[in-house]
């Protein structure tokens, strides 16, 4: 079923709301395990990751593990005109809730695109060949256009391989690796 991006986003978000907490937790554990074993993760000294919202994959364990491994963690701060920058997250960081209800850093060290080794890219859904449907805004597509490092996304089974398709645009940038949670056996 080919929908507009907006329609596809709505449908997939509806299905994500229905995922049971225990199921989500199990799937997230599978994703963390997979992520921490990738070459991209091992090779990265500077990792960019979001401060997740309830509906998204919880990024807190990723941030904790990165710090445990002495990696620098950067989180996004949105700027006017749908631009975004990444700021170091450390014990001194103050977070503030923005108009769109996301927690973003106040002040802090900005890391440029060429200083970041790996971006864990958030999204609503992914195609098997690496295309991503985001939350709208195009922040990551704009950022990734001038970023040459590694990219990885984490998908619940509900976010991958669905019947729902959306139009791929010229500015859509493929994610290098997409990890899909394995079902419990």
Ligand X SMILES: Nc1ncnc2c1ncn2[C@@H]1O[C@H](COP(=O)(O)OP(=O)(O)OP(=O)(O)O)[C@@H](O)[C@H]1O
Ligand Y SMILES: Nc1nc2c(c(=O)[nH]1)N(C=O)[C@@H](CNc1ccc(C(=O)N[C@@H](CCC(=O)O)C(=O)O)cc1)CN2
Copy the structure tokens of residue 121.
């890219």
One of 40, 102, 119, 144 touching ligand Y (CB under 6 A)? 102
Query: Least distance (Å) from ligand X to the CB of residue 142?
Result: 4
DSSP annotation string for 137-159: S-HHHHHHTT--SEEEEEE-GGG
Residue 36 interacting entry, from ligand Y, ligand X, none, C-beta within 5 to 8 Å by type: none
Helix (H, G, I), strand (E, B) or coil at 181: coil
Check whether 123 is labelled as a binding-site residue: no
Distance CA 59, CA 90 (A): 15
HEC states along 50-109? CCCCCCCCCCHHHHHHHHHCCCEEEEEEEECCCEEEEEECCCCCEEEECCCCCEEEECCC
Residue 141 interacting entry, from ligand X, ligand Y, none, C-beta within 5 to 8 Å by type: ligand X
139 binds ligand X (CB under 6 A): yes
One of 3, 5, 38, 53 touching ligand X (CB under 6 A)? 5
Check whether 139 is labelled as a binding-site residue: yes
Check whether 140 is labelled as a binding-site residue: yes
Q: Of 134, 117, 128, which Cα lies nearest the Cα of 162?
A: 128
Binding site for substrate: what residues are annotated? 51, 56
- Could you list the residues known to form a binding site for ATP, using ranges: 5-9, 132-140
Q: Which residues bind ligand Y (CB under 6 A)?
A: 6, 50-53, 56, 76, 78, 84, 100, 102, 122, 134-137, 139-140
Positions in the binding site for ligand X (CB under 6 A): 5, 82, 133-142, 145, 171
């Amino acid at each position: 079923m080919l929908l507009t991006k907006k329609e596809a986003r709505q449908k997939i978000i509806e299905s994500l709301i229905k995922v049971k907490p225990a199921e989500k937790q199990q799937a997230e554990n599978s994703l963390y395990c997979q992520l921490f074993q990738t070459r991209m993760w091992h090779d990265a000294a500077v990792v960019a990751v979001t401060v997740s919202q309830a509906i998204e994959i919880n990024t807190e364990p990723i941030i904790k593990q990165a710090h445990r491994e002495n990696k620098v963690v950067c989180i996004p701060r949105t700027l006017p005109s749908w631009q975004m920058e990444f700021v170091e997250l450390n014990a001194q960081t103050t977070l503030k809730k923005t108009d769109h209800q996301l927690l973003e850093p106040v002040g802090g060290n900005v890391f440029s695109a060429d200083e970041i080794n790996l971006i864990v890219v958030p999204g609503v859904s992914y195609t098997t060949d690496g295309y991503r449907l985001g939350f709208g805004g195009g922040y990551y597509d704009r950022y990734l256009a001038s970023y040459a490092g590694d990219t990885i996304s984490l998908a619940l089974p509900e976010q991958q391989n669905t019947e729902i398709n959306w139009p791929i645009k010229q500015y859509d940038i493929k994610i290098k690796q997409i990890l899909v949670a394995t079902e419990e056996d």
